[in-house]
Amino acid sequence: MGEAAAFYFFAALSLISALCVVNAKNPVYAVLSLVVTMFCLAALFVLLKAFFVAAVHLLVYAGAVLVLFLFVVMLLGVGAEGSATPAAGPVFRVFGTVTVAALLAELGLVLWLAADHFRSAPEATEGTLEAVGRLLFRQYLLPFEVTSVLLLVGIIGAVVLARREPA
C-alpha cells in the first residue's frame, strides 16, 4: 500500500514538473523543473529496487548534465528579457513554498518507506552493479551502442552549429 502511494506521488510530481519544463518561458525555470523531474525518476528507480541505477541517474543527470545546462543558460544570459515582474513576486513565493513542502513530504515518505527496507535482509543481486552490467552488456548491448552513436552525432551537430564562419 505504501509503495503504491509513493509510486503515484512520484509519478504525478514527475509529470507535473515535466509539464513545467515544457511550458516554462524562462530557461532557468525549465532547467530547475527538469532537476525535480530527475529526482522523481530516481525515486521511482529506488521503488523498483534499482539502487545503483538511481544513484548513477542522480550523479550523472541531476548532478552533472543539468548543472552544466544551468550554467550554460545563465552564462549566455538566455531569457533575461523574460524575467519576472515585481507583481509576480507573491505568486512565485507561494509556488516556492508549495514546492518546498512537497519535497519535504517526499523526503519524509521516502524515509518512512525505507525504514522497512533497512530492517530486512538485502536481496541477492536485484538492482546491483552486477545485475545492471549483465543486462546492459548482454540483453541491451545494441540499444546501448546506438545511444552512444546518437550522443556522438549530437555532439558533432552542436559543434557544427556553434562554429562561426570566418569573416
Closest to 37 measured CA to CA, from 103, 119, 97: 103
Is the domain covering 2-124 a CATH 3.90.25.10 domain? no
The predicted pLDDT at position 84 comes to 47
What is the chain's pLDDT, residue by residue, as a tens digit (167 residues)? Answer: 788 899 999 999 999 999 998 898 888 788 888 889 999 999 999 998 888 888 888 888 877 777 777 777 767 766 545 554 555 677 778 887 888 888 788 777 777 777 766 666 555 556 677 877 788 788 888 887 888 888 778 777 777 777 767 65
Nearest to 46 by CA among 9, 101, 98, 100: 9
Domain borders along the chain are 2-124, 128-167
Listed in sequence order, the residues at least 6 apart from 74 whose beta carbon sits closer than 8 Å to its beta carbon are 28
**pLDDT (0 to 100) of residue 43:** 92
Task: Give the pLDDT score at 140.
Answer: 84
